[in-house]
Amino acid sequence: MKDIRIKKFFLIVVILITWSSNAQPKVWTLEECVAYAMENNISIKASELDEDLATISKKDAIGNFLPSVNANASHSWNIGLNQNITTGLLENQTIQFTAVGLNVGVDIYRGLQNQARLRRANLAQLGSQYQLLKMQEDIGLNVANAFLQILFNKENLKVRNEQLGFDQKQMERTEELLDAGLIPAGDLLDMKATVAASQQQVTIAENALLISKLSLAQLLQLKEFRDFDIIDPNYQAEQNALLLKKPEEIYEKAKELRTELKIARTNLEIAEKDITIAKGAYQPTLQGFYNFNTRASNSDSVTGFQIDSANPTSPIGFVQETNQVVVQPNFTTLTGGPVPILDQFDTNKGQSVGVQLSVPIFNGFSARNAVERSKVEYERSKVAYEQQELDLARNVYTAFTDAKGALNSYEAALETAEARKEAFRYAKERYDVGLMNSFDFNQSQTLYVNSLSEVLRTKYDYIFRIKILEFYFGIPIIQKP
């Protein structure tokens, strides 16, 4: 009985531990954030749809090489005064007609426009892939920036909480000194104000952390973001090897790898193909065609002929020598029911095959204007490509300068924090023995806390600047294992 109770106890403990571990909110890594954004971000989904449209356009370009095949059918009722196709007489009647046909057409030559359109479609599909990649890279950078902002706010909140704890202890120490008659009552009031200010800074830091978490959660398109949190990878701000390179070297590497330059180059090639397509309208076109048609009706059919008993003959002339009248027999038509439809389709079928040549002579300057317009778009794309090169050079040099400046700022912030730490330690020693008033002591303490916050700010700013510089050098934001 005792063993059963022990087993039940351990079973309950295991269940509680399992439930507790499953109830813990997920803690996200930077890799998970980036991967999730790639799958769920709305902007990326829209770019993926653009890629799908480019693929469909390529199918259209391929379809231009294939023949067109169209079938047609019609059925009509002719009611009232109609010609009887059997007797040739006009009669009041209702006749039904059915006609079917098949048309086949194929381009033999179209000024090489179809070939140019296919090459353009391939370039457009490649350009849409580059656009999707560019969107993914931008989202990756935004996620990394938001991730680092959360880390900064977390560290800053720790500093503010530690400062609040220190201020509370210092206030207790001040109360003891006041009770001992070593300091005036105003010092205690100053410390209470300092504690209140520290509590306010903690609240501000908590709000900043919450907002940064919310920003990243929205960037990831998360519906449930109340318990959203990230893991602290403990990034180290160390000098990066890229800072030892020259900006020119990084720029040359970026020219080979950067997606925005590939997009501009692809757009330039597309504009060139548009000129080729427009010039194709100057050339003649040659098409082949094949047509098949047949018909049927429900009118009566002719089954035979017989002598007209009312008027068996009719004169048609006379013999000149003998004046003998020449007559011919008059026949009347014997009709029966309509011929079966399938038999009529077989009897009435017809076919035609041939080629059609079309030579453009004058079309209101439409072909020439299309060529001129495409040339203007080509020049526009050429200017855009050159501008993209200039923007890339500026961005690379700016990223290199910003990264170096961020490293210098971080190192300076470390030295400042170390000096403020020593100054604060010295101020505390003087304050504890009554050689410094509370106002000067609080000022020293505030300077020290601000220097710690500045160290954190410059640290994560430097890490992000390095991420951007690596980005231009072709190093992905997330290193794959």
* 175-179, 197-201, 376-380: range with lowest mean pLDDT: 175-179
* 315-319, 357-361, 397-401: range with lowest mean pLDDT: 315-319
**Residue among 360, 465, 456, 391 at smallest CA distance from 110:** 360
**Residue among 89, 79, 97, 73 at smallest CA distance from 298:** 97
Q: What is the pLDDT of residues 194-226, one digit of tens each?
A: 889 889 999 999 999 999 999 998 888 887 777
Q: What is the pLDDT of residues 429-453, one digit of tens each?
A: 887 777 887 778 888 888 998 899 8
- Predicted confidence at residue 278, as pLDDT, reads 94
Among positive and negative, which fits the CA dihedral 138, 139, 144, 146? positive
- Predicted confidence at residue 206, as pLDDT, reads 93
Q: What is the pLDDT of residues 291-323, one digit of tens each?
A: 999 988 877 666 666 677 777 777 777 777 777
% of the chain at pLDDT higher than 70: 89
Q: Which are the contacts of 42, defined by CB distance < 8 A and separation ≥ 6?
A: 221
Q: What is the DSSP letter of 311?
A: S
Residue 324's pLDDT band, with cuts at 50, 70 and 90, is confident
**Residue among 61, 33, 339 at smallest CA distance from 216:** 33
% of the chain at pLDDT higher than 90: 45
Residue 391 to residue 255: CA distance in whole angstroms:
11
- In this model, does residue 71 exceed pLDDT 90? yes
Strands 27-28 and 229-230: parallel
Strands 285-297 and 350-358: antiparallel
pTM of the model: 0.76
Residue 459 to residue 124: CA distance in whole angstroms:
42
Count of C-beta atoms within a 10 Å radius of residue 68: 13
Residue 411 to residue 316: CA distance in whole angstroms:
126
Residue 1's pLDDT band, with cuts at 50, 70 and 90, is very low
- In this model, does residue 386 exceed pLDDT 60? yes
Average pLDDT over residues 218-238: 82
Average pLDDT over residues 156-162: 89
Rounded to an integer, what is the distance from CA 91 to the centroid of its chain?
68
- Predicted confidence at residue 362, as pLDDT, reads 87
Average pLDDT over residues 343-349: 84
- Predicted confidence at residue 334, as pLDDT, reads 59
